[in-house]
Amino acid sequence: MDLTNPTQENVAYMIEQIKDKLRMANGDAMQAEAFDENKYEDLQYLYEMVMKRDSFSPSEMNAIVAELGSLRK
């Protein structure tokens, strides 16, 4: 998948992948439509960071969720 283009489909893909990787219990609360394409580069950076890691500490999880919250519209 080509994630270099800031499309809503790419946003949806990255959000779903992050939710799966983090095994988010309340992942339904994070809909791709709630994310602004103007912040695409920030979302892509977060996505790449999450995908590189195998595990996360509770404080890292909180920081990731907080960052996702700041990227919402």
The pLDDT tens digits of the residues spanning 15-67 come to: 999 988 888 756 666 788 888 788 999 999 999 999 999 988 989 988 998 99
**Of 15, 48, 47, the residue nearest 34 (C-alpha):** 15
Number of separate domains in the chain: 1
E strand residue ranges, 1-73:
none
Within a domain: residue 13? yes
3-class SS shares of the chain: helix, strand, coil, % to 5 = 70, 5, 30
Domain, as residue range, for 28: 8-70
**Sequence-ordered list of residues with C-beta below 8 angstroms from that of 2, at least 6 positions apart, any chain:** 10
Within a domain: residue 2? no
pTM of the model: 0.84
Residue bearing tokens 């979302």? 43
Within a domain: residue 3? no
Provide the token pair at 71: 């990227």
